[in-house]
Chain A
């Protein structure tokens, strides 16, 4: 027996013990002193704003009160983003949404990465029949988008920038044997947003959409999620964020929660992805 063997056998401990550990490490469910005060402040501010929003929503009626309304709002706001120049004119979700999930407002126990999301709908297209797939999250009080993931498949005439070989069961059945397939990676970000848009321009447009007065680009350093990125210059082209999985943090001026927005690009086999979001729809 040696120490390496000891590490290896830990893989065989009962599954429920591993689940126990993963659940603990996933949730930051115990908060100490200073962070508790900060969280309480965020919760109180969010609650106060939620009350104001609810009051105004009560007065005028909730903007979004059904999955059908959420899907209409998602489509409408995507068109708004295209008109504003945030998204490429090519972005289009074909057919009805594949799923629309209603998500209740987070409580303090569901605190995630500093955000406490309000009541919202998550409208999803899985891209089975089209070039685009996405999660388009709609705030029910205002009808605005507050978090967006859009994937765009590469076209057949797009040139890949990399590839990897994978083994797959033939016809999805391992008993038929395996075949080698090649996964290709692309940089067709121009299918999602204008190729010449800079980070500054993109953030300015988001600030305008959300009603904030300005923004600040920030480093991202998070020990738990292991994000360790310096902020880019605002004149960087959005499509040229330094590296895949690069995570950009943005603080919006006028955002009363003080919670940062995130922006990230990813490249997956056959497609690219833009992910961004905040927890506020209004300044």
Chain B
């Protein structure tokens, strides 16, 4: 079923919208949730909650891209779950590994006294991402937005794992420089 048809079902409050969403995006959601949380059961819970959130927010929202919208909801729920339930706020999934990678990139230059607003950081990170090459951008966001394992990114993009690791290292270095230059670190 096309996205517009699913959205129409949501607007008509037809419950088959949920089953159609699961048919179309269920596997992607479960894979993403498992990657982030590290647990199939925890991920499954987040997937169910994301369908509920989709039902509760559409309408009035009319997503331009249903998959991206649903993935955003799911990602937030997974991160919330990890931060709420795990003592280290990182969990056991790929998110924990991604966290370590980004944390190494910035933590030694972060001044806890320095206030950076969410909006300022969002603007700089969006600017940084837009300046990456298309390949580096896909790799960077696959890794840190979707928390995809490097092996999976390699399989989907066709790039070798070593190329992906190099790309991520370069991108993290550029991100660090960008944030330092803007006075956020």
Contact = CB atoms under 8 A, between A and B. Distances in A.
Contacts of B146: 21, 25
Interface in A168-184: 168-169, 172, 174, 183
A199 B130 CA distance: 51
B55 A226 contact: no
A15 interface: yes
B138 interface: yes
A164 interface: yes
Contact of A11 (B13, B76, B134, B185): B76
A21 B141 contact: yes
Interface string B131-170: 0001001100110111011011101111000000000000
Contacts of A25: 28, 142, 146, 148, 152-153, 156
For the complex, would chain A's binding face be called helix, strand, loop or mixed by DSSP majority?
mixed
A269 B18 contact: yes
Interface size grouping (class) on chain B: 35 or more
A24 B126 contact: no
Contacts of A28: 155-156
Contacts of B68: 15, 18-19, 22
Interface string B101-115: 011001100100010
Given A1-B110, A1-B185, A172 B11 contact: yes
B51 to A, nearest CB: 9
Interface of A: 1-15, 17-22, 24-32, 126-128, 133, 149, 151, 164, 166-169, 172, 174, 183, 223-228, 245, 266, 268-271, 273, 275
9 contacts: A9-B118, A13-B145, A18-B71, A21-B138, A25-B152, A30-B158, A128-B14, A133-B16, A226-B30
